[in-house]
Amino acid sequence: MEWLCAETQSVSQNGRDWLDVYRAAVMEFDRDKLPASIDVAEKAIHQRLRGLPIANSKEHRELRDALNSLAVLKRML
């Protein structure tokens, strides 16, 4: 579980790090690891959403789309 914390902490260093974590989650093929990958990605996305100054920005829409995609993945588990 330590790597989960490390992943989430690293997201705050660069505003687009959420994208790397998100991509890792959607490309995870190990069904045992997928729930944890989704959780890390969701946390990273929510953290970035809290840091955005304007809720109607292009990145805000990208973040919401990413959350929707992760929700679909969760339902498929």
In terms of pTM, does the model score above 0.85? Answer: no
State pLDDT tens for residues 33-48.
Answer: 999 999 999 999 999 9
Query: How high is the pLDDT of residue 3?
Result: 39
DSSP letter at 14? S
62-74 pLDDT per residue, tens: 999 999 999 999 9
Cα dist from 5 to 37, 46, 75, whole Å: 12, 15, 24
pLDDT of residue 14: 58
Query: Do residues 66 and 49 make contact, with C-beta atoms less than 8 angstroms apart?
Result: no
